[in-house]
Amino acid sequence: MLKLLAKVKKTRRLDSFRGEDSLLRSRVHCYVAIKSAARSTMKLPKGLKGKSVRVLRTYIHPWEIKPGDLIVLDTNESRAAVKKHVRTSVGKRAEVVFGSKNVTVGDFNSDGLKEYAIENAFLRSIISPDYGARILELWNLGTDKNELYGGNSYEPGGYIEIGGVEESLSRIGSPGDLWNASYRKRDVAGSDLGFEHNLKKKEGLKEVKSFFVLPDAPVLCQFSTFEYKPKKPKKKKRKIPETELEYVPRIFFAIGG
């Protein structure tokens, strides 16, 4: 889930009290302006930067918050800010040419960005075009559990906090041009949903991703293909440039209780 970084504009102390440890505390209303996402790897929804929200904080004396300080809004506060200032929808039927009727579009995880859901009687997958057209969540409808680790929640250790099914152009799976890129919707014959993305560091190279579910089985299929259309050399005798590609998909399963 998206967490927001905000700058304190003004504060108003509500009351003060001593806890069981005898330390003096104050409850403070903080009026803050949204500055960015709490981490650079996450994306701030359009229309949210600079918007004001009010949050409640409890501080121990003498470490009270003051105007100009930066604070991180927790999950519930961030969700409330998105709900207040970003126009989103959930469960709207997506327009697909070749796809099934089981594709919907909306903000399913309250991060202010658009996701697509594909489902059948057995499973539901949440796909984010703003994060590499990756499968963020894969829900087992029989157990009502997300079978993927992460699912756009924050975890320690850098970029891995997004989780799900991610791709990279590196053998070690480090961040690259795919895992966090914004993909455009594209109609792909024979699929329920498709996207495309022009790689920045590989001129003329485009990835096309397509997804579909089987109607009578717990099966979700993802296909990733690459189209290469390099620029023609100015001189006729020169060869068309070649390119090499290392493609590494990674799946983060949810294991444990």
Confidence (pLDDT) at 151: 45
What does 116-184 look like in DSSP terms, one character per residue? EEEE-SSEEEEEETTTTTEEEEEEETTTTEE-BS-SS---SSGGGGG-SEEEESSTT----SSTT---E
Q: What is the pLDDT averaged over residues 89-100? A: 52
Are 73 and 153 part of one and the same domain? no
User: What's the pLDDT band for 256 if we cut at 50, 70, 90?
Assistant: very low
Query: Which residue, of 85, 104, 138, is where some domain finishes?
Result: 85
Confidence (pLDDT) at 99: 46
Residue ranges making up the domain that contains 38: 4-13+23-85
Least confident of 60-64, 229-233, 246-250: 229-233
Are 54 and 31 part of one and the same domain? yes
Are 38 and 138 part of one and the same domain? no
Confidence (pLDDT) at 49: 93
What does 32-60 look like in DSSP terms, one character per residue? EEEEEESSTTS-PPTT-TT-EEEEEEEEE
Contact 206, 197 (CB under 8 A): yes
Domain presence at residue 257: no
Q: What is the pLDDT averaged over residues 241-256? A: 72
Tokens standing for 40? 């650079």
Are 44 and 159 part of one and the same domain? no
Domain presence at residue 36: yes
Provide the phi-psi class of 149: left if phi over 0, else alpha when psi is between -120 and 50, else beta. beta
Tokens standing for 178? 């795919």
Residue 59, pLDDT > 80, answer yes
Are 132 and 233 part of one and the same domain? yes
Query: Which residue, of 60, 85, 110, is where some domain finishes?
Result: 85
Are 79 and 99 part of one and the same domain? no
For tokens 């489902």, the residue is 119
Contact 34, 8 (CB under 8 A): no
Domain presence at residue 188: yes
pLDDT, tens digit (0-9, with 9 covering 90-100), for 162-217: 668 888 877 665 666 787 789 999 989 888 999 999 988 777 889 999 999 998 89
Confidence (pLDDT) at 92: 57
Separation CA 42–CA 83 (nearest Å): 18
Contact 64, 96 (CB under 8 A): no
Least confident of 48-62, 113-127, 168-182, 220-234: 168-182
Residue 4, pLDDT > 80, answer yes
Give the total number of structural domains in the chain. 2
Residue 160, pLDDT > 50, answer no
One-letter amino acid for residue 228 of the chain: Y
Are 140 and 236 part of one and the same domain? yes
pTM of the predicted protein model: 0.75
Domain presence at residue 256: no
Are 120 and 196 part of one and the same domain? yes
Residue 142, pLDDT > 70, answer yes
Are 46 and 156 part of one and the same domain? no
One-letter amino acid for residue 141 of the chain: L
Are 79 and 111 part of one and the same domain? no
Query: Which residue, of 85, 109, 136, is where some domain finishes?
Result: 85
Phi, psi (5° rounding) for residue 85? -115, -15
Are 59 and 172 part of one and the same domain? no
Confidence (pLDDT) at 189: 87
Are 45 and 101 part of one and the same domain? no
Confidence (pLDDT) at 155: 43
Q: What is the pLDDT averaged over residues 221-243? A: 78
